[in-house]
Amino acid sequence: MKLRQEWVSRVQIVSGALKLSATILRNMSADETGTDKRETSGRLAELKKTVANGKTFADVFDQVLSQPIRWLALLGFLAALCGLVILVMFVFTRLFAVEPSEFQLGGTNSHILFAKEQHQGGDREYVAIVNPQGWQATAIPVNSGERVSFVAGGKICLDLNEISEMVRKKKSYEDEWEKKEGLRENDPTDKRVPEDFFTEEEKKSLTVGRRWVDPDGYDLNVFEPRFRGRRDRYLLPDKQAGGLVGGVSQESIEPERSDAFFIGRKAEYTATKDGTLWLTVNDVQYSDPNNKYLFYNDNIGSFWVRIVVKSR
């Protein structure tokens, strides 16, 4: 019984809100005269009485439909909202010369955000998101001899553990200096903060060695793996660590190491065979087929890539 009363109360609240919204829409469409104001006041009183009588949502909706002025005002509002959405999409597609195809983020696959095919020349344009967790099929078909151009951006980090360790150290230093200096974290009059007291040694320890990097990646002469022997085990050992890499293979078969090519922030590539375009980042390869992305698990961030496939 108590549960039923709660639901009745909720329905009355929703009904009242809808009725008040309908009255506001009508008032917006009416002339601001004394008669209109008196009519609005009368309708508000009528709506209050309706709420008190426990009218349902269906009753309210029927009342809105029975009033032509309210109905037209509601239709006008919805039409204006749809027009605004269409205008925004039109301006966006003109600015970026793309058309919306799919919008997905996250997961283990590369996702095409936008796609457009040029009717003259047959060129195809795409914008994709790449996560640094191993090979990801883009579902973009390429044929042997086609030229593919890439422009990429974004940031990734290849060492989540180092970032986590830095955050832990920073918290430890903050707690230490808070006690030493008697800092009051909840007192707005105390303008002192822990980082004002960090020693030079502490500041140095908080510097991240493997910083966030763009699609050009880290220079392997600077970014040394923990064990030097791993340098030759990168997907492309002679290219920058963490850099954007592409490959062409069948849609369900990941590219071989020999199929990989470096992209970075900008590149041109001529396909040597038919297949699907795949994307990844340059990181250590692991021989265990059951855990081949072991060294990709601590990567975070993402790259965006604009891809143009030019027909032969």
Q: Do 89 and 196 reside in the same domain of the chain?
A: no
Q: Do 129 and 146 reside in the same domain of the chain?
A: yes
- Give the domain-ending residue among 42, 69, 94: 94
pLDDT attached to residue 31:
45
Q: pLDDT digits over 140-177, tens only?
A: 999 999 999 999 999 998 888 888 888 899 999 999 99
- Give the domain-ending residue among 94, 114, 145: 94
pLDDT attached to residue 1:
52
Q: Do 44 and 171 reside in the same domain of the chain?
A: no
Q: What is the dihedral of CA 50, 52, 54, 56, to 10 degrees?
A: 40
Q: Do 260 and 277 reside in the same domain of the chain?
A: yes
pLDDT attached to residue 54:
54
Q: Do 238 and 129 reside in the same domain of the chain?
A: yes
Rounded to an integer, what distance in angstroms lies between the CA atom of residue 71 and that of residue 191?
A: 57
pLDDT attached to residue 232:
84
Q: Burial level of 263, CB count in 10 A (0-12/13-18/19+)?
A: buried
Number of domains in the chain: 3
Q: Do 295 and 181 reside in the same domain of the chain?
A: no
pLDDT attached to residue 201:
93
Q: Do 112 and 235 reside in the same domain of the chain?
A: yes
Q: Do 67 and 117 reside in the same domain of the chain?
A: no
Asked whether 32 and 75 are in contact (CB, 8 A), the reply is no
Q: pLDDT digits over 244-271, tens only?
A: 999 999 888 999 999 999 999 999 999 9
Q: Which residues pair with 99 in a beta bridge?
A: 115
Provide the residue type at 141 as one letter: P
Rounded to an integer, what distance in angstroms lies between the CA atom of residue 25 and that of residue 80?
A: 13
pLDDT attached to residue 103:
39
Give the structural domain span for 175.
163-205
Q: Which residues pair with 126 in a beta bridge?
A: 115, 307
Comparing CA positions, the residue from 154, 82, 90 lying closest to residue 306 is 154
* pLDDT above 90 as % of the chain: 35
Q: pLDDT digits over 44-67, tens only?
A: 555 555 544 555 555 655 665 566
Q: Do 59 and 45 reside in the same domain of the chain?
A: yes
Write out the E strands in the chain. Answer: 99-100, 111-117, 124-130, 136-142, 147-157, 244-249, 261-262, 266-270, 275-281, 300-310
**Higher-scoring residue by pLDDT: 221, 306:** 306
Q: Do 148 and 200 reside in the same domain of the chain?
A: no
Q: Do 17 and 122 reside in the same domain of the chain?
A: no
- Give the domain-ending residue among 54, 79, 94: 94
Q: Residue 55 in 3-state DSSP?
A: coil
